[in-house]
Amino acid sequence: MQSVDPTSGEVFATYAETTGAEAAHHLDTARRLQE
């Protein structure tokens, strides 16, 4: 895992957005499998 310069909020925002989207996708997939 690479360390990110805390002054670069843009990188963190992109990272958070990506993980959030992936988590939502996994949750959606899990729900479909349960049906």
Backbone angles phi, psi at 10, to 5 degrees: -65, -45
In the prediction, which pLDDT does 7 show? 63
CA 30 to chain centre: 16
In the prediction, which pLDDT does 4 show? 59
Q: Which two tokens stand for residue 6?
A: 């805390």
In the prediction, which pLDDT does 20 show? 79
What's the pLDDT tens digit per position in 4-27? 566 666 776 777 777 878 888 888
In the prediction, which pLDDT does 10 show? 73
DSSP sequence for 1-35: -----TT-HHHHHHHHHHHHHHHHHHHHHHHHHH-
